[in-house]
Structure formats: C-alpha cells, structure tokens
Structure 1
C-alpha cells in the first residue's frame, strides 16, 4: 500500500525535534507512538490496533527516514508482526533503509517466520539486530545472519534499571547515531519514566477512546513535558515535546 503525500506543514513542525548531534556518546533518542484519547495504544493486550490516520502514518515513515534505527519490544513484534521498514522516499524513488532493533531478552521471536524476513527477502528493508539476554542459548538464526542481521547478547536480566543506558551505549558502539523508539507500552513507560535518555517525544493522538481493557501508556511517576508544540491534521493531532 502506497503512502499518501506528507502534509507540507509537518516538515517545519517536526524539524526542531528531529535528530541533531548531541554532546554524549550515545544515540539521539526519539520516543514516538500513537495513542487514543484515554492514553491507550491498543484495544487489548496482544491485539493489533490501528489508530493513525493515513497522513500521520506517512509522518511515521517520514520520521523513520530521519533515523538510523527503529526499536521495538518483543510484545509489539509478537502482537503486530510489523515490517519495520521505511516507505517514505521524499519523491526520489529511492529506498531509505532503517535498521530494526528488537528487544527480546528471552529470545521468543522466530525471525525466519516473520513479515520482516519477507521484506528483507524482497530487498525492501534491513534485517534486525535482536537484543537477547546473555544467558540465552541456541540463538543461531542462519537466515538472519545471511541477511546481515545480528543476535546481540547483553546482561538484560541482571539489572533492568540500567538496561536502557546499556542498550543505547551498545547501539552507539555499533555505529547507530539515532534511534526511533516506537513501543510497546513497557518500553514507552520505561523511557517516559526516566529509565533511559529521551531527546524528543512525538505522540499522535487519535480521536477515539479504547476503553478500560486497552493497553495503557502511564509511567509510574508524573512526567512534565517542555518545548511543547501541537499540529492538527484531518483526524489526528500530533504532540512534539521534550522531557
């Protein structure tokens, strides 16, 4: 499915929040996701829920074109089987490729059976780097390795409070200078709650209530945003801010 044109007004609106050089040896981190009016990102746990309007879906791919990598947690991968590629080319007709990063401490995901594997087979994306705990055995995935992906072992289960700093430090060592974090709820709540660095927050708000059974974004402590800007489209509103 092709993307609708990117609304022209989104380009200057998003620009101040896009990756810039930072004076730290870590990637620039953008936290972005779509939510309902009652702060839910899915109708139920494990159920894929489409919230974004077509124009904000194009915005998501535009944002991906500005980052080196896109990071998601294992629950998002198992629920949505996402393609994790970039379909925005700015009218150039060229393929912009972004590196998927999948946080999968217990190694639950079978990449060889995924939509992402099919995308890579077709030359439309990059194979992922899969982050697993160092205790996990039998992590060889020949298809993944043949496509240029990697299984990266880290001590993820020992000191979870420090995981995000360790993860971003490792990605920086692997020449990834900007990361777009898209979910799911545990990942978002961790980063909103201060467990790791976040340089920009970009939230799409859809005009719908998903109800009390929905998967909620709600960090453990209160969070104040600064440098706040709003954009309103045909259906959705977009919040850009910093923590």
Structure 2
C-alpha cells in the first residue's frame, strides 16, 4: 500500500530495541531488558519529543509498560499520549496503561478498561485496527509525531501500510537466534525489489549498544 500524503497524517517513527539479529525477546517472551540504561534513556528522550507513543496489546500483556518519558534531573518533557492497539479489548483493567492519558483502540463496541479512554476504529481485513483509521484519529486529536514501539506484528502492520517515515533502531550486542521473537513480524515479501527501503542517517554507540537512525527513501 502506498504512503498517504504526510500532511494528512502524523509523521510515524518506528522505534525498536533488539538483539544483533533483530529479536525483541527470547522464545519464551522474555524481553526486559535487551538494551542497556544508556539506550533506554535515549528512548525516553525520543518519547518526550513525540506527540503519541503506540504499542500493541501483546506488549501490554508481556511487559506492562508505562510509556511515560522518564528523564533525568534537569531535563523536562511532557508525557506523550499513550495509545494501545487492542482490537479485542484484552488490556487488563489493572494494567499500568489502563489510566487517564491512554487511548485504547478497539474494533468492537467499547467497554470500560480502568481509567483509559476506549475508542472504536475501523477494522482491516484481518479484524485488527486499520492503520489508516488509527492515523486519522490521531491526526484529528492534533498528534503530529507518532512513535510506534511494538511489538513485532504492530511494527509490520505500519510498515505494510507504507507509513513508517523513520526508524530509530537500538541494537544490543547479544544474539537470540531464530526462535526469538522478531522486531518486525512477517512482511510476506517474495522479491527483494518489493522491500521497503531506508537511508541510514547516523550510527553511534550508546553504552554497549548501537543506535542507528534511518529515514524512508
């Protein structure tokens, strides 16, 4: 699917923290913490510069994240709007994200989930939240910068929708193997010519990890 005109939607940055071989967790789902504290701090700084941060419900169930911008003393930045893609409303009411300041997007009739706002959006062919509908809702709420943090299926959905404008990729110097959980799930590509293409802008060490920055060609 071709990208929509950027003026019609938020700029989308995909932020990934993986092993060297592109895995976000072990075969059993263990994922905290793959990268070190320096890389995590840079991730919080990226959050503070984003209007909204988005994850899928599988990340909520596995990691129970807060998605706040936790910065060191002397640095300030607003917490972004927190967004969860949860087509079947599986987010527990006791989750850290089931609070005010979080929007949970579903394809079903909304039911209360803690203190979060639950909003129905259109479904795609697989029954999951349609990415264009998600971006339309965020645009209507004034979000100009969206950071997508995972998991692998959510990352793949945004890539396949053709809307990932930039990638912030943190790689830890470890290997998790083919049975680990991928940072980007299947794209079902049969030919290299169809692969989404990006240009590397920078690469730098952050602690023991490598931080790579890309923009779409």
Q: TM-score, with normalisation over the residues of structure 1?
A: 0.76
Aligned to 2:53: 70
Unaligned residue ranges in structure 2 (runs of 5+) = 190-194
Label 1:89 to 1:179 Cα distance change in 2 as closer, same or farther (>3 A): farther
Q: Report the Cα distance in structure 2 between the residues aligned to 1:95 and 1:157, rounded to whole angstroms.
A: 34
- For the 8 Å contact 2:87–2:129, the answer to whether it is kept is no
Unaligned residue ranges in structure 1 (runs of 5+) = 1-21, 121-125
Q: Report the Cα distance in structure 2 between the residues aligned to 1:232 and 1:23, rounded to whole angstroms.
A: 31
Q: Does 1:127 align with 2:96?
A: no
Work out which of the residue numbers 199, 208, 214 in structure 2 matches 1:235.
208
- For the 8 Å contact 1:128–1:150, the answer to whether it is kept is yes
Q: Does 1:116 align with 2:97?
A: yes
How many corresponding residue pairs?
Answer: 205
Q: Give the structure with the larger helix fraction.
A: 1
For 1:63-108, what per-residue CA distance to the aligned partner results, in whole angstroms no more than 9, with x for missing partners? Answer: 001011100011111110111111126714x562211100000111
- For the 8 Å contact 1:46–1:78, the answer to whether it is kept is no
Q: Report the Cα distance in structure 1 between the residues aligned to 2:66 and 2:124, rounded to whole angstroms.
A: 27
- Please report how far the alpha carbon of residue 190 of structure 1 lies from its aligned counterpart in structure 2 after TM superposition: 2.3
RMSD across aligned C-alpha pairs, in angstroms? Answer: 2.4
Identify the range of structure 1 (149-158 vs 159-168) with the bigger mean alpha-carbon deviation.
Answer: 159-168
Q: Secondary structure at the match of 2:211?
A: strand
- For the 8 Å contact 1:72–1:181, the answer to whether it is kept is yes
- For the 8 Å contact 2:53–2:83, the answer to whether it is kept is yes
Q: Secondary structure at the match of 2:7?
A: coil
Q: Report the Cα distance in structure 2 between the residues aligned to 1:101 and 1:162, rounded to whole angstroms.
A: 12
Q: Give the structure with the larger strand fraction.
A: 2
Aligned to 2:74: 91
Structure 1 runs of 4+ with >4 Å offset: 157-162
Q: Does 1:205 align with 2:175?
A: no
Q: Does 1:195 align with 2:161?
A: yes
Aligned to 2:15: 32
- For the 8 Å contact 2:110–2:119, the answer to whether it is kept is no
